[in-house]
């Protein structure tokens, strides 16, 4: 089991290092097809000159560019991406239809919400396509293509909800957030709530350990019970 896990990780790491990395000299016309590999139905390789981008692919791009990748499982699905974006208030007016192609209207509505999550002051009906397009034009944010719009996307400084608590019974996911120390987004210390260090009330403590932890510089006023370190 242990060897199997190590072997699997080693294979993945070797594959990743050997992977050919394509650096584009010129911008291409369409975004990546990363989400395609995740098995969302109805996808075929898009023609090079007229790429059709699904909402699943668009959601994946946004999750990455907004810095939300940490909060999506590494084997996450398009729905996981959509859920992470929704927790930031980002969704098309009709919700994420992951198999549908991204239209200009969907792009405009989503981009306005992205801008709001990034800190722009947006005071319009964000589900109104016309109002969204006007607002983007006024603020100089291009909506001709997804590639152009993506140029305006920046990582969120302090993501909202998905990082707060991640309750999962999946050992591939759970304890992902051991708990950044003193992180205000973590509600309280996520580490305390999940797994944190705690010595035992029943662990045997040797005399050497007691001497080590209680220097004889002054007389302890607390009982010399086994030490209980506080948790990260």
Total chain residues near other proteins (CB under 8 A)? 132
**Closest CB to other proteins among residues 13, 104:** 13
51 in contact with other proteins (CB under 8 A): no
Please name the residues in contact with 64: beta carbons below 8 A apart, sequence gap of 6 or more: none
29 in contact with other proteins (CB under 8 A): no
For residues 79, 136, 68, 42, the Cα torsion angle rounded to the nearest 10 degrees is 30
**Closest CB to other proteins among residues 104, 198:** 198
Count the Cβ atoms, other than its own, within 10 Å of residue 145. 18
HSE-up (13 A, CA, CB side) for residue 108: 21
Site string for other proteins, 138-157 (x = CB under 8 A): ---------x--xxxxxx-x
Count the Cβ atoms, other than its own, within 10 Å of residue 35. 24
Q: How many angstroms separate the CA atoms of 33 and 51, rounded?
A: 10
Q: Beta-strand (E) ranges in 124-223?
A: none
199 in contact with other proteins (CB under 8 A): yes
Q: How many angstroms separate the CA atoms of 76 and 61, rounded?
A: 13
50 in contact with other proteins (CB under 8 A): no
Binding other proteins by CB under 8 A: which of 87, 105, 134, 142? 87
Binding other proteins by CB under 8 A: which of 107, 180, 207, 211? 180
Please name the residues in contact with 114: beta carbons below 8 A apart, sequence gap of 6 or more: 62, 66, 90, 152, 153
158 in contact with other proteins (CB under 8 A): yes
182 in contact with other proteins (CB under 8 A): yes
Binding other proteins by CB under 8 A: which of 118, 131, 134, 142? 118
Binding other proteins by CB under 8 A: which of 51, 53, 59, 96? 96
Taking the complex as a whole, the smallest distance from the CB of residue 18 to other proteins amounts, in Å, to 8
198 in contact with other proteins (CB under 8 A): yes
């Amino acid at each position: 089991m242990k060897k199997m896990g190590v072997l699997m990780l080693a294979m993945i790491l070797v594959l990743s290092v050997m992977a050919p990395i394509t650096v584009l000299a010129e911008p291409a016309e369409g975004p990546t097809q990363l989400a395609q590999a995740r098995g969302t139905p109805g996808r075929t390789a898009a023609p090079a000159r007229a790429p059709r981008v699904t909402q699943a692919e668009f959601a994946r791009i946004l999750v990455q560019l907004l810095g939300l990748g940490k909060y999506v499982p590494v084997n996450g699905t398009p729905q996981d991406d959509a859920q992470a974006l929704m927790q930031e208030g980002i969704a098309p007016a009709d919700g994420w239809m992951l198999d549908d192609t991204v239209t200009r209207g969907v792009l405009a509505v989503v981009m306005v919400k992205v801008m709001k999550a990034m800190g722009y002051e947006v005071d319009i009906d964000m589900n109104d396509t016309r109002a969204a397009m006007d607002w983007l034009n006024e603020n100089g944010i291009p909506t001709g293509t997804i590639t152009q719009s993506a140029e305006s996307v920046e990582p969120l400084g302090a993501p909202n909800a998905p990082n707060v608590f991640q309750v999962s019974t999946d050992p591939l996911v759970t304890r992902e957030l051991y708990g950044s120390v003193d992180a205000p987004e973590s509600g309280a210390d996520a580490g305390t709530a999940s797994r944190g260090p705690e010595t035992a009330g029943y662990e045997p403590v040797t005399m050497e350990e007691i001497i080590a932890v209680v220097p004889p510089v002054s007389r302890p006023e607390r009982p010399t019970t086994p030490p209980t370190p506080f948790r990260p």
